[in-house]
Structure 1
Amino acid sequence: MTDDRLLLSGLRVMALCGALPEERDRAQPFELNVDLGVDLAPAGLSDELGDTVDYGAVCAAVAAAAEGEQFTLMETMAHRIVEVCLAADPRVQQVTVEVRKLRPPVPQHLSTSGVRITRHSQ
C-alpha cells in the first residue's frame, strides 16, 4: 500500500440522486472529490504519462456513472464511483470518494450535504 495520492477535486455533475420525488425527476448539482491511492514513483522517475493513471479517463468514467445512472442515496452513488475508479486502472489500490449535494432539500440553511467513503482493491 502506498501513501501516494492522485487527487481529483471539484468535479461538478448534474445527477439524479435523492429520496424525494422531485429529486428523482430533475437532475441536481453535485460536487465529487476523488482521491486515488496509487504508486506515483514510476511516473515521478520516468516523467512518462504511461507510468501513471490517466486522470482524464477516470474523470470521464466517474462523470458518466454519476450522470448516467439514478440513485436514491448519495452512499450508493459514492459506492458506484468507487467501483468505477477501481476498475479504471489496476494500479489503483485505494479510492476515497466524497459526494456533496450542492442544494440539499432541507428547510435549514445548509450549504451542502454529503458522504465520504474509502475502499481498497482486492
Structure 2
Amino acid sequence: MVGVSSARDRISLRGIRVTAHHGVFDFEREQGQEFVIDVEARLDLAPAASGDELAATVHYGELAQEVADAVRNDPVDLIETVAERIAAVVLAHEAVEETTVTVHKPQAPIAVPFDDVAVTIVRGRA
C-alpha cells in the first residue's frame, strides 16, 4: 500500500450554479440571481480507494445536491453567511476533516465593471 497523507486527499466540486434570492437590496431578494459555488472537501480517500467502496467516501452527487439546497433555501443578506451554511453541510459528512467554500456572485450590484466577486472560507472540525 502506498503511504499518503490524508490532508492532501480531496473531493472538489466546481461551478455549482444555483439561482437564489440572497442580497442586501430588495430587488435581489425579489428577482433572485445566479450564485456559483466551489467546494473542496478534504478527507482520507485511502479507505474508499482500497476497497472500491462508495460508502467509505462522500458521494459527490449527493454533496452537490446538498450544497445547492443550502444555497437555494432561506435567503440571507451576505454571501459570507451562505458560505458558512455550505461549510456546515460539507462538515456534516463525518469523513470530511476540512472544507474550503467559495461563493461567487457574478451579478452583484456593483457600479463598476467587474468579472466576479466572491468570498472564500476554510472551515474544519473544532
Q: TM-score, normalized by length of structure 1? A: 0.94
Q: Identity, % of aligned pairs?
A: 38
Equivalenced residues, count:
121
Partner SS state of residue 70, structure 1: coil
Structure 1 CA distance for aligned equivalents of residues 75 and 13 of structure 2: 22
Determine whether 1:82 maps to 2:83.
Answer: no
Aligned match of 1:16:
21
| Structure number with higher strand proportion | 1
Cα distance, 1:115 vs structure 2:
0.1
After superposition, give the CA deviation of every residue in 1:23-70 in whole Å (9 maximum; x if it has no partner).
111210010000001101111212221221111111111111100120
Structure 1 CA distance for aligned equivalents of residues 74 and 43 of structure 2: 27
Q: TM-score, normalized by length of structure 2? A: 0.91
Determine whether 1:61 maps to 2:72.
Answer: no
Larger-Rg structure: 2
Counterpart residue type for residue 35 of structure 1: E
Counterpart residue type for residue 45 of structure 1: S
Structure 1 CA distance for aligned equivalents of residues 70 and 105 of structure 2: 16
Cα distance, 1:90 vs structure 2:
0.3
Q: How does 1:1-122 map to 2 (within 5 A)?
A: 2-87=7-92, 89-122=93-126
Contact 1:96 1:117 in 2 (8 A): yes
Counterpart residue type for residue 96 of structure 1: T
Contact 1:40 1:52 in 2 (8 A): yes
What's the Cα RMSD here?
Answer: 1.1
> Which ranges of 4 or more aligned residues in structure 1 deviate by more than 4 Å?
none
Contact 1:78 1:97 in 2 (8 A): yes
Cα distance, 1:99 vs structure 2:
0.1
Counterpart residue type for residue 24 of structure 2: A
**Structure 2: segments with no counterpart, 5+ residues:** 1-5
Structure 2 CA distance for aligned equivalents of residues 96 and 17 of structure 1: 20
